[in-house]
Structure formats: C-alpha cells, structure tokens
C-alpha cells in the first residue's frame, strides 16, 4: 500500500518526495520510508528489523554500523544492546563482479526471471502503479 506525497519543489515539480510503502506478508509487515527532503539523508539511511526476540538496526548503511538489541543472548551476541563490527561495504562492487563472472563464464544469474519479475512488480505497486 503506497502513501505518496509531494511536499517540496515549491510547486515546480511533481516529485513524490515524502513517501511510505507498506508491504503485508503472512507473518510480517514491512514499512519502507523515503524522503528526499530529509536533512543529511545519507547518514540517516537505515535498515531496521524488529522481532519478538530482538531488534537490529543498520544505520548508517555506508559505512555500516549495526546495533543489536536482543532479549536473550544468541551465539556470540549478548542479551541487551551491543554493536557488531562489520566489514567496509562498497556499493555495487560485489554485485557487478558477480554479473561479470556470470557473463564471462556463461553462468545463470543467481536471481531467476520469476524472482526479478516479483521484485519489479512489487516496486511498481509500492509507487502506486498497478
């Protein structure tokens, strides 16, 4: 379910610049927010997972900073809030290397056409195009 708003642009464009999309699944709900109006947007980009046994917050995404807040200890991660050190992430480098390897060695892509179509259809629905 998309919620798209045009708030900026001083009337000069129709860019949807303050948006929310809600994706409903059998056992979870996903909320995606996007605002091009947000101050210092790069540092505020985040990915948050919330569950019955804890939460994980990746913010910022680049460079990655992961905070866990667990109800009980899990593996090497203690109960409560902790920071997980992650390796540096360079956007698209791994994906482009994998694509090049598939092309060079005539391997199939790791994503099927059906999976890709589902992603693209979901994106279209999230921006209000049926």
Percent of the chain with pLDDT over 90: 70
pLDDT at 15: 86
> How far apart, in Å, are the Cα atoms of 47 and each of 11, 33, 77, 108, 125?
31, 10, 19, 29, 21
8 burial (CB, 10 Å; 0-12 / 13-18 / 19+) is middle
Its pTM stands at: 0.77
pLDDT at 51 over 80: yes
Q: Is the pLDDT of residue 129 over 70?
A: yes
Tens-digit pLDDT profile for residues 99-117: 999 999 999 999 999 999 9
């Amino acid at each position: 379910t998309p919620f798209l708003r045009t708030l900026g642009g001083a009337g000069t464009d129709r860019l949807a610049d303050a948006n929310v999309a809600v994706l409903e699944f059998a056992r979870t709900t996903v909320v995606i927010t996007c605002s091009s109006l947000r101050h210092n947007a790069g540092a505020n980009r985040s990915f948050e997972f919330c569950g019955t046994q804890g939460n994980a917050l990746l913010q910022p995404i680049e460079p990655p900073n992961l905070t866990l807040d667990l109800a009980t200890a899990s593996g090497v991660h203690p109960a409560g809030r902790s920071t997980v050190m992650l390796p540096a992430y360079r956007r698209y480098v791994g994906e482009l290397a994998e694509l090049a390897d598939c092309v060079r060695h005539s391997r199939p892509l790791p994503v099927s056409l059906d999976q890709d179509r589902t992603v693209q259809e979901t994106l279209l629905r999230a921006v209000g195009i049926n």
